[in-house]
Amino acid sequence: MSFTVLITYFCLGCVLFPALLLVVLGLSALISLKIRESLVVVLTQWIASLGLVCAFCVLGLMLSSGERFVTIDVGDWVSIEQEQFHFHIRFIFDRLSIPFLILSLVLCLTVATFTRRYLHREPGFNRFFLLYAFFLNGIVLSSVAGTIETLFFGWELVGVSSALLVAFFVDRESPVQNGQRVWGIYRFADSAFLLGALAMHHFTGHGDFAAFVGTEPWPESQSALTANQAFLVGCLLLVAACGKSALVPFSGWLARAMEGPTPSTAIFYGALSIHLGAYLLLRVSPVLESSIGLRVLIVAIGLSTAITGWLISRVGCDVKSVLAYASLTQVGIIVVEIGVGFYYLALIHLVGHACLRTMQLLRAPTLITDYQAIENALGNRLSNQDVAIAGWLPRSVQVSIYRFGYDRGYMDLILDSIFIKSFKNFFLWADRQERRWADFLCGETTQPSKIELHPEEQLALESDSESIIGATSYRKEVQ
Amino acid sequence: MNSNVVSHQSRKAEILACVEHLAHYLPSQGPIQVFVHHNTLHAFESLKFEEAVLRGKEHFGGEPYWSEARYHRESQCGRISHEDLVAEMQLLPSNSIDAEVMPGIRQSKLRMAMLSAPIKEVSASQLDWLVSETLGELPRFLFEQQDATLSPEWHECRENPTKARRLLRDLYEACRYNTEKFSFNAKSINDDTYSRYRRPSELVNHLYGWNLDGLVNELLIRFCAAFLDQGFAGLQLPGRRDGLWLSFLELYTAPFSLLPDWATSLKRALARIQDESLNAIDVLEESLQFFEVTDDTLDEFLTRSAMVLPGWAGVISQLEESGSNATIKVPHGTLLQFLSIRVLLDRLAMEYTCRQQDIDIDYARYRQELRREQELRAIQEKDVGFLVFQVAKRLGLLPEKIRSMAQSDWGALVKEILKFDSLTRRRVLHCAYERNYRVAIFNAIRVHQQHIESASQRPQTPPVYQTIFCIDDREESIRRHLEEVEPQCETFGAAGFFAVAMNYRGVAEAHYRPQCPVNVKPSHYVREEPVFSAVADDEKRSRRRKRVGQFSLLAHAGSRSLLGGAITSILGSFATFPLVARILAPRITSKLRKRVGSIVQPPSTELHLERQASIPGMSFESLGFSHDEMANIVIRLLQDIGLLSGYSKLVAIIGHGSSSLNNPHESAYNCGACCGGRGGANARAFAWMANHPKVRRLISERGLVIPEDVYFIGGYHNTCNDQIQYYDLDRVPASHRSLFRKLESDLHEARRRNAHERCRRFESASLDITLSEALNHVEQRSEDLSQVRPEYNHATNALCLVGSRKWSRGLFLDRRSFLVSYEPSRDDERGTVLERILQAVIPVCGGINLEYYFSTVDPEVYGCGSKLPHNITSLVGVMSGAASDLRPGLSAQMVEIHEPMRLLFVVQSDAKTMRRIIDSNAAINSLVENRWVQLAIFDPKSNEILVYENNQFVTWDQEKVPIPNVKKSQEWYQGHRDPLPCASVVGGMQ
């Protein structure tokens, strides 16, 4: 078999195996077929491992042949010539996508193994793995995307699964609220992404990265855009990256994302999705090269993110948000590195950081034991009694700085008052209108029922209406 | 003017008194490093259990019992019988079971019909929808009911579904018809639930759906976490030393800061407070005026305000107490300041929202509106017709009969049905559930005595060796297995601190921690030290340890900083290897890690137990105990367990603890008698003392002769991975070494079997697992980062046997029983020894049991919910997710197999002694009299059990039902996951 055919098969394998997992888990959920825990895990592990093997084979083949840039064309899915619109699917395997792909697959596999025991007997076990499959597909597609449409597709899958995983514990209020908030910010970032994609189509005629970042293997290629075009497209993509990576001014949602079960928190907000914005910037790095203004902007955002993230994580008291913002600090630095042009350093930093943070978040619940162990080794109590911000500053400035970190840079407050408030008021108004309309149609005041039930029965009530009348139908099992 | 000042002062005093008072209602769990089990509803211990759980519902919103459906599931598995229900229903206060509710139907029949399957309470609108959706389904569940005496028309329905459907619809319509015709008002029955006091913030939440508490909580949680931080945060809250009030003022008046919309006026309000230098209580008083809190609602208002975030308020009140051993304590009065801030913020939120929604602040009107709305709803809420329908079909009433009822009859029927409401039904079901287990245990104990008798006929040989374990329910199985491995051994159970109350510091530990029950304040300090010849070596290793510690601290903090983080994360790829290895193969990785770690492990050690100075203290000379004190300790323990003669050559004394990873609640898995510590050190200290020649001499002077060739050896049992380790083996005399080897190998076999028995409850271990696989499985559990159930801890505890092991030996108790050794024949007339045993055992074991009870019946309110989203905060506790109240209690994963029932004590004693002990100990008295625990006494000679009911001991005289006999425990439990009834394990008899 020739080299090209072989490598094509392996490349397709990287993409298709995760898709297979999604199809199996998704279809079974769709037809309400309850798969056993162990089967779900075995399927996930095997399919993700096959994907990983494919990725390693691609890497091996590329190393042995000296080829550094492989593209796989799946063709146009939609093509409207007169409107110059294509939905073109193409995958790129190069120095950038392969490390990120392998990283994603290794971490996803590890987390799947971790979750097998962590979520054992949890009612949402299958739901978790379904969302996990969505995420896996999203991250694989994003990492090997060769056109902006493909990237957007993966990017959306990641967004949707992340937001749903934040709201994993649907029976409590705050996870759902925070999930919605994350989703809101993601949508905002996505709209900037879409605008960027449109602008690109407009400038170059299609969404192929090659057209605007050049055809040389990453990172040597040259952009085909002019400086102004690059600035415009770059800014839009930068907003998208900011939302996804929680860079300033969107850093507020990161703490709220800590609602899900520990493994999803670890992999999504500690490791993979938070780096996706930085990855996007790396992918379009030739565009950055052609606009100095854009690079200055990126460095500024990166730097302010790093400093804010550092301050927030210094002030924080709960282990998950502290780790999340420590993570953000590093993403900020990575973005600075990208802005300055150290692409390889940024890539190494990204990969190493993702691994480190995953491990730290996975063992976050062991914090108390860790601290005891450190105290025992040092032989005295650890205490932050005397840590001040900078003793030489006036007291009020110290308090202000502390307060800035404590309130997470006020970013949520500012976003709330600028954007969210107006949206919320509009929706509340719509809600009121709907109620009035419904009352008018019913001819009476509608109100939700507030009967108090035992929590267990409440669940049964929601899941299985028949059980209310069918007195002895005990289909709702605890397990 | 003067009187005004006086009233002002008295108001303040009143507020202070209220705060003092409400602190009792808060959860009494301190920082999570030391987890001590206690009764969740300790605030209501002076009330009867059944009343207290209702008060708990009112105060905390926690469920008093399992759901009705859950009890019915248990009853389908045979865990509640008809007899149990009948017996418990008779015990309900103020009932008249023989009275006729309607012609031919007595109250008892009606109630039994209501208990035979869950009753559904739904609102009328829900019902309309459901009936139209599912009427076709109705007949199926009709015929599933167990005991309805059906009239002939209903019998026909069995064969004819169409007819059944018609008849049912007819019956349902008849009930609806009557309801409308007589318009019976449901609210007149359950009036008191609506008159409950509500804080204004709760009031508007009910009325308009404004979640003011949510707004305030978000701000307050963040502040409390920062203020209470025990050393985790990199930067400390400015001005924390000035206390909660001042630091809050300073933080929220900081220049260049923003506030959420609702709290924009906070800065102004605080500035005014600063200007006028008001203190917390002044501001609280102002806010109380704003909320129009009168003197008679003051207590209620403040309590409910604290109850919005009970976890945080509770930990503040715990840290206020001088006794807590937290790193950072808070001054007295902090709870008041916390409340003052809470109420101030409530007020701002209220003002803001009312302004925003353009509604006047008028609490009286809110109350009225709420009342009106509730009355309206009360009628809608419980659809009386449907209730009667459910009962009527169980009673086999026909539609015509319903239709022909007069108003007064219908009213009486409805009233009777409503009176037997869900809470009462659940109470009966719960008591029946407890009774079922109680009956089984009494029967098993009495039936089992025949084996004991026949065993005592055989010639008695002296025991090969003796072992003393903790009374812990988890040690029941390993004792049983050891007795099966070596029938010639004897086992004893004593509280796991083994009478050695000390502050202990291990060789590689930084601080002393108390190793004795919580209520004892130890004055003695004991250190573990390297043996003298290894002191130099130890210094080297401790330097190494220190370096490793400094490095890991650096890595810990560094990975969160700017530059350090960059460096660690660029090297972070290397972290992948250990990460992946630990997750894929936890057991092997941990073995490797231990091997690597051994270069910093301290060398062989000894306990510093002999004191030179006369007064105990922390300096080198005053560490340890005097010989006299040691003798007291040894005598105390041996008297407790009744081991005063008949010694074997080797006595092993084994403490216990547990080790697991990624588990903030690890301390809860350790020995409860050691204050959440590991009991190995106590066992080691006791063995050392009991072996000491001088101590032996002092003991013998006091009349207790331990033969010279008796040797004590200390050990430690890890209940999570079932490892057993022994202490000070170098000192074992040559004459005893072969016997020790035998003990060691027997215990090894016992721990293998123990692990195997434990595995039957773990769903991830297959039911046909072998002994060695089982041991590997439990070892893996304790080393697995992703394991949220390292062990099931005290789950399923239900029983506590106090008395000689002779009569419980060989009884399979399924790891559900605390086993306390006590020998009445060695005790005096008054029962002095029994008294001191029970003084500790009843509150401690009762506390464990009740904490499990409440965390099981309501894991969200009384427990800490699911473990999966737990987030350690400020090193004081866990929150669920990003920001929530602190969650005290046990997690859903810890209690998932627990069966909530009050602990049943079976004490080997007589009624007179027991009576005296109950009467003269207030703590025991309130638990027993108020039925927080169940009590019975047992006399093995007459084989008679007396149950304590309504202040008296009543003979238990049910007929004996045989229980199965098996050779080995394994034969009985193999292949079962669920709880098992008792059996006689003949192989374990002496």
pLDDT per residue as tens digits for the range B507-516: 888 888 889 8
Per-residue pLDDT tens over the stretch A125-141: 999 999 999 999 999 99
pLDDT of residue A478: 29
Best A325, A331, A356 residue to mutate vs chain B (most B CBs within 10 Å): A356
Residues of chain A positioned with their CB less than 8 A from the CB of B784: 117
The span from the CA of A103 to the CA of B563, in Å, is 23
pLDDT band at B4 (very low <50, low <70, confident <90, very high): low
- Are the C-beta atoms of residues B590 and B597 closer than 8 Å to each other? no
Q: Which residues contact B372 (CB under 8 A, 6 or more apart)?
A: none
Q: What count of other Cβ atoms lies within 10 Å of the Cβ of residue A215?
A: 13
Residues of chain A positioned with their CB less than 8 A from the CB of B883: 174, 255, 318
CA-atom Rg of chain B in angstroms: 32
Interface of B with A in 29-48 (CB under 8 A): 32-33
Determine the longest span between alpha carbons in chain B, in angstroms.
98
- Interface contact flag, B70 A456, Cβ < 8 Å: yes
Judged against a pLDDT cut of 60, whether residue A412 lies above it is answered with yes
pLDDT of residue B396: 78
Greater pLDDT, B615 or A443: B615
Q: Which residues contact A183 (CB under 8 A, 6 or more apart)?
A: A159, A160, A163
- Interface contact flag, A469 B134, Cβ < 8 Å: yes
DSSP, collapsed to helix, strand or coil, labels residue A147 as: strand
Residues of chain A positioned with their CB less than 8 A from the CB of B140: 470
Q: Report residue B621 as tokens.
A: 């000379």
pLDDT of residue B157: 67
Phi-psi region of B624 (alpha: psi -120 to 50; beta: other; left: phi over 0): left
User: How would you class A427 by CB atoms within 10 Å of its CB: exposed for 0-12, middle for 13-18, buried for 19 or more?
Assistant: exposed
Q: What is the bridge-based pairing of β-strands B465-470 and B490-494?
A: parallel
Per-residue pLDDT tens over the stretch B786-819: 899 999 999 999 999 999 999 999 999 999 999 9
pLDDT band at A262 (very low <50, low <70, confident <90, very high): confident
Per-residue pLDDT tens over the stretch A67-77: 888 888 887 77
| pLDDT (mean) for B258-267 | 91
Q: Report residue B583 as tokens.
A: 């997750």
User: How would you class B577 by CB atoms within 10 Å of its CB: exposed for 0-12, middle for 13-18, buried for 19 or more?
Assistant: exposed
Residues of chain A positioned with their CB less than 8 A from the CB of B251: 399, 402-403, 406
Share of chain B above pLDDT 90, in %: 57
| pLDDT (mean) for B208-234 | 91
The span from the CA of B810 to the CA of B454, in Å, is 13
- Are the C-beta atoms of residues B389 and B413 closer than 8 Å to each other? no
pLDDT of residue A456: 54
Q: Which residues contact B534 (CB under 8 A, 6 or more apart)?
A: B603, B604
- Are the C-beta atoms of residues A144 and A101 closer than 8 Å to each other? yes
Per-residue pLDDT tens over the stretch B300-312: 999 999 999 999 9
The whole-chain average pLDDT of chain B stands at 88
| pLDDT (mean) for A82-89 | 72
| pLDDT (mean) for A358-367 | 86
Q: Report residue B605 as tokens.
A: 């050690």
Find where tokens 């059990």 sit. B945
- Are the C-beta atoms of residues A163 and A187 closer than 8 Å to each other? no
Judged against a pLDDT cut of 70, whether residue B142 lies above it is answered with no
Per-residue pLDDT tens over the stretch A341-357: 999 999 999 999 998 88
The span from the CA of A379 to the CA of B683, in Å, is 25
- Are the C-beta atoms of residues B863 and B889 closer than 8 Å to each other? yes
- Are the C-beta atoms of residues A10 and A91 closer than 8 Å to each other? no
Residues of chain A positioned with their CB less than 8 A from the CB of B69: 456-457, 460, 474
Per-residue pLDDT tens over the stretch B24-62: 999 988 888 888 888 999 999 999 999 999 999 988 889
Min Cα–Cα distance to chain B from A102, Å: 12
pLDDT band at B134 (very low <50, low <70, confident <90, very high): low
User: How would you class A388 by CB atoms within 10 Å of its CB: exposed for 0-12, middle for 13-18, buried for 19 or more?
Assistant: middle
DSSP H helices in B91-136: 107-115, 124-134
The span from the CA of B75 to the CA of B61, in Å, is 26
The span from the CA of B64 to the CA of B69, in Å, is 14
- Interface contact flag, A329 B562, Cβ < 8 Å: yes
ipTM, two decimals, is: 0.90
Find where tokens 């609806």 sit. B176
Min Cα–Cα distance to chain B from A452, Å: 9
Query: Is residue B578 within 8 angstroms of chain A, CB to CB?
Result: yes
CB pairs under 8 A between A and B: 359
Best B429, B562, B580, B764 residue to mutate vs chain A (most A CBs within 10 Å): B562
Per-residue pLDDT tens over the stretch B148-192: 445 566 666 666 767 777 777 788 888 888 887 776 555 444 455
Judged against a pLDDT cut of 50, whether residue A471 lies above it is answered with no
Judged against a pLDDT cut of 80, whether residue A196 lies above it is answered with yes
pLDDT of residue B539: 84
pLDDT band at B381 (very low <50, low <70, confident <90, very high): low
- Nearest Cα residue in chain B from A166: B881
Alpha-carbon distances of B506 from A190, A379, A437, B272, B605, rounded to whole Å: 56, 11, 72, 53, 9
Query: Is residue B255 within 8 angstroms of chain A, CB to CB?
Result: yes
pTM of the model: 0.92
The span from the CA of B429 to the CA of A100, in Å, is 59
Judged against a pLDDT cut of 80, whether residue A178 lies above it is answered with yes
The span from the CA of B111 to the CA of B94, in Å, is 14
- Nearest Cα residue in chain A from B70: A456
| pLDDT (mean) for B821-846 | 93
Phi/psi at B97 (5° precision): -70, -20
Judged against a pLDDT cut of 80, whether residue A231 lies above it is answered with yes
Alpha-carbon distances of B228 from A149, A311, B224, rounded to whole Å: 49, 19, 6
Judged against a pLDDT cut of 60, whether residue A365 lies above it is answered with yes
Q: Catalogue the E-assigned strands of A210-348.
A: none
For the stretch B835-841, contacts whose Cβ atoms lie closer than 8 Å and that sit 24 or more positions apart, written own/partner, are B835/B917, B835/B920, B835/B921, B836/B640, B837/B640, B837/B802, B838/B802, B838/B907, B838/B917, B838/B921, B838/B924, B839/B921, B839/B923, B839/B924, B840/B495, B840/B517, B840/B673, B841/B471, B841/B495, B841/B800, B841/B802
Judged against a pLDDT cut of 80, whether residue A390 lies above it is answered with no
Q: Which residues contact A149 (CB under 8 A, 6 or more apart)?
A: A86, A87, A88, A89, A197, A207
Judged against a pLDDT cut of 70, whether residue B124 lies above it is answered with no
Half-sphere exposure of B147 (CA within 13 A, CB side): 14
Query: Mind giving me the DSSP string for B769-825?
Result: --HHHHHHHHHHHHH-TT-S-S--TTTT--EEEEE-GGGTTTB--TT-EEEEE--GG
pLDDT of residue B167: 78
Buried-exposed string B857-885: b where 16+ CB fall within 10 A, e elsewhere: bbbbbbbbbbbbbbbbbbbbbbbbbbbbb
Per-residue pLDDT tens over the stretch B853-883: 999 999 999 999 999 999 999 989 999 988 9
Instruction: Describe the crossing of helices B200-208 and B363-381 by its angle, rounded to 10 degrees.
Output: 50
Q: Is the dihedral of CA B118, B119, B123, B127 positive or negative?
A: positive
The span from the CA of B76 to the CA of A262, in Å, is 37
- Interface contact flag, B869 A169, Cβ < 8 Å: yes
Q: What is the bridge-based pairing of β-strands B904-908 and B870-873?
A: unpaired
- Nearest Cα residue in chain A from B574: A352
Q: Report residue A418 as tokens.
A: 């600028």
Angle at A111 between CA A109 and CA A116, to 5 degrees: 100
Q: Report residue B350 as tokens.
A: 């209220």
Amino acid identity at B845: C
